[in-house]
Amino acid sequence: MEGYSCPALPYTGALAARLVILPMRLLSGSWWLLLLITLHSPIVQASASALDIDTGWEYRWGDSPLQADGRPTWLLEPSAGEWNAIDFPSNPPARNGNRHVWFRTTLPAGEWRDPVLYVYSIDLIAQVFLGTELIYQHGRFDANGEGRFAGWPWHVISLPEDFAGRQLSFRVFSDYTDIGLWGEVKLADRPELLGNILKRSADELIVSAFCLLLSLLAGIFSVIQTERRSFVGTALFSLASGIMILAESQASQLLIAAPLLWDYLAAAGYYALPVGIGLLLEPWFESRHSRWIRRLWQGHLAYLLGAMALAASGAVNLSSTFPVFDALLAVTLPVLFTLVIARLRRLSGEKKLIIAAYGLFALLLLIDMAVAHGLLPWRRVPVSVGALVFSLAIVAISLHHYARTQRELVQLNQHLEKQVAERTQALQGMVERLHAFSYQDPLTGLKNRRHFDEVFAHEAANARRGKTLTLVMLDIDHFKRLNDLHGHEAGDTVLVATSHLLSQHFRDADVVCRLGGEEFVVILPGASANQAAERVERFLEAMRRQRFVHAERELGPVSLSCGIATYPEHAGDPLELIHLADMALYRAKRRGRDRSETSAPVN
């Protein structure tokens, strides 16, 4: 029992394949090269030798009893029983719940080097007999002549050279809505038939790969872009389309000979299409319409998960899930388009283009559905054209967005260059001001501790090269008590006034800084201890005369204690001046305050 069994696919024109051949190079591999070589090989060039077997058929409801040797009795008694003529061996009249039927015809003569019988599909399982010999079987029959769904592949049944004039019989079981052979039945040469199948499938394979590539790109953008829901919808719809078209391609069975697996993939892709388009459309509409669209795709998602789970568990045949989904889709599609049309004017041109492309795809799906259920005569419906048009619409919109974005980027770049030039100058001035602020005490306007550390390190380095350096530490006496009596704002008034007096009584070359709180320091480069003491004394005298007033209330006298240290007179290293001046300051505190003390000379 030799033969092939492969799933079927609607035809797509060669022009559509050329439109997407460039993106497909990204997915090309060795099997694509093999496919193209096969298509252009002389051995598979199409000829006119194929012959349709669409006349001379008879049918008989029921199943034949079996002889002791297992052969069906109806084959041994060809003239017995009620055989009725039928144009094509599919869905005979007056089924009345029958799940078994026989078909037979007499094979015509012809010149074929490697003759085969080609059947597009069978609902659902079948045995094929030439005379009384079983030559092919699809699916498994149990003792009652029944069996489970085994997929909808196409079939290539090998014939002997002496087949002409012999009776060909089909024993068929189906618990599906259809029963019998479906599509087309042909006699042909094997190489010619396989060549035609590959030619018809090439376009679908390219369209499928194009959809899968688009799904991959949309999936990536759904992760990195903000409009995630739309990208997820596009990715899911393209993935479902690509998987469905690939699974229904006749060439898919030549890639992996597993018809039931391909039918599961085709079902999953087919059932996921409304979910993908629902996710894509939902964000485009107002809350009420958006909720309805969400309910539609969620209902289809529930059916997808439930149907696939039940079929995989064996609770139902996969074939029985298709009519239910077709009925569901026949209801939800008009509802979806009613919701869309009601708000169509408010949508942008790009969104209208996507809806129009989906409308074409949906129309082809409905036509294919009608053909599958016998509502329309059998024909190849180019469903892949709808998928291609939808994908090309997405690509066209993306390219338009890219071109517009590039133009906007050029304009934005020019504008930014101008702004950068203007703001660089402003920032430079700001940096200079911030640099000054970082070294300034915000309350008194004097330099701060950071400035003191840097300047003192610099002056200490100069002093080591033989220059004199004097440091004066100053601290306001009883400042905490002043704050407690008059408040911190009064204390700030005293700090500001003291800072002004300090600035007035020292040279421009001297550096006056506020260390923090009520502490001040003065760096006197080149000044001796005596010179520093004279300036400090004049400053203290000015402090004694100074009246401190806050909120129209006199605060009373404010005094300071001071410590003086000079390098090299008092210290062996300039950095010791801070400690020495601080010690002299505390000595002034202990000796009654409002005075200055000078550090002792170094031994």
Q: What is the mean pLDDT of the chain?
A: 86
Judge whether residue 233 has pLDDT over 70: yes
Judge whether residue 536 has pLDDT over 90: yes
The answer to whether residues 37 and 100 touch, using CB atoms and an 8 Å cutoff, is: no
Judge whether residue 41 has pLDDT over 90: no
Closest to 506 measured CA to CA, from 477, 540, 464, 478? 540
Average pLDDT of the segment spanning 343-366: 86
Q: What is the pLDDT of residues 204-216, one digit of tens each?
A: 999 999 899 988 9
Span between the terminal Cα atoms of the chain, in Å: 120
Judge whether residue 4 has pLDDT over 60: no
Domain ranges for the chain, please list them.
3-7+41-193, 201-400, 449-598
Q: What is the pLDDT of residues 305-330, one digit of tens each?
A: 999 999 999 899 899 999 999 999 99
d(CA 591, CA 587): 6
The answer to whether residues 237 and 390 touch, using CB atoms and an 8 Å cutoff, is: yes
d(CA 120, CA 445): 95
Query: Residue 581's pLDDT is what?
Result: 96
Cα dihedral 419, 424, 426, 430 sign: positive
195 vs 30, more confident? 195
Two structure tokens written together for 83: 């055989």
Judge whether residue 30 has pLDDT over 70: no
Judge whether residue 391 has pLDDT over 90: no
Closest to 512 measured CA to CA, from 460, 441, 583? 441
Judge whether residue 590 has pLDDT over 90: yes
For the domain covering 449-598, report its CATH number: 3.30.70.270
Query: Residue 431's pLDDT is what?
Result: 66
Query: Residue 546's pLDDT is what?
Result: 93
Q: Which CATH number fits domain 3-7+41-193: 2.30.110.10, 1.20.990.10, 3.40.50.620, 2.60.120.260?
A: 2.60.120.260
Query: Residue 232's pLDDT is what?
Result: 86
User: Which H, E and C letters describe 349-381, residue by residue?
Assistant: HHHHHHHHHHHHHHHHHHHHHHHHCCCCCCCCC
Two structure tokens written together for 341: 């049309």
**The CA-based dihedral angle spanning residues 161, 167, 168, 172, taken in that order and rounded to the nearest 10 degrees:** -160
Q: What is the pLDDT of residues 469-519, one digit of tens each?
A: 999 999 999 999 999 999 999 999 999 999 999 999 998 899 999 999 999
The DSSP call for residue 20 is T
% the chain with pLDDT above 70: 90
